[in-house]
Structure 1
Amino acid sequence: MRRVLLIGLLLSACSAMPERDVSLYQSLGEQAGLTRIVEGMLLNIAKDPRIVGHFANVDITLLRDKLVQQLCVETGGPCQRSGDSMEEVHKGLKLTRSDFNALVEDLIAAMETQGVPVPVQNRLLARLAPMRGQIIER
């Protein structure tokens, strides 16, 4: 039930980016915590038959580093985003809502494994929700 609620949060979020919240970065364990979450999510994806195929030809180390950087920026950490836009990165991939939701579920599972409290998970998901439109059906 909680997963449905969290996915619903992602699907209904507004397109404007929320203000920076340094406490979210700290609540997630700063750089080390974000790295553990991203690595856990990537391990979950590797076992997820729904979406693992989308990552077959991806440099996982580079992806990990870019995802950690992205989360650092989105959570108010001291990082700066570099590289192509979300639209450009996902252009031509034709990712569906189901693909997006599967990745969110893998992220939630990684945060649960790391012991991230649900309110903190929800704050992160709210920050990431506006990216949905930049990722799916591109």
Structure 2
Amino acid sequence: MIEDVAGRTLVRAAMKAPYLERDEEHLLAIRWREKKDQDALHLITVAHMRLVISMASKFRHYGLPLGDLIQEGHVGLLEAAARFEPAREVRFSTYATWWIRASMQDYILRNWSIVRGGTSSAQKALFFNLRRLRARLANGA
């Protein structure tokens, strides 16, 4: 019950956060990269929490708490901020998507089953495609 209230509060806060224009995002990324400006990092991460929540909702079917998936996605978002290079002229959300997904997938692999899953790229791909393949087999396609 408390998790539902906290989750709704988090989602509401994320939806109220302003979108960043390309130039504003670029300037914030430079401030974070060059000066380690914590305010710039905060503005970038708050503006992209919608992305984290959206991606977390796509992994709900693994039975793990949505709040935990969001937290792991936030860790990925922070990793993306630490590694982002504004000089490449790529939007932060495009870059961060890969880090957020990787962080969530690693969390799922560590916690979805008591049986340890694979850690190589091929084993991860097999794990995340397994559900789709099972459904296809069950439908006789």
More helix by share: 2
TM-score by length of 1: 0.31
Q: Higher relative contact order by CA 8 Å / sep ≥ 6: 1 or 2? A: 1
Greater Rg over alpha carbons, structure:
2
TM-score by length of 2: 0.30
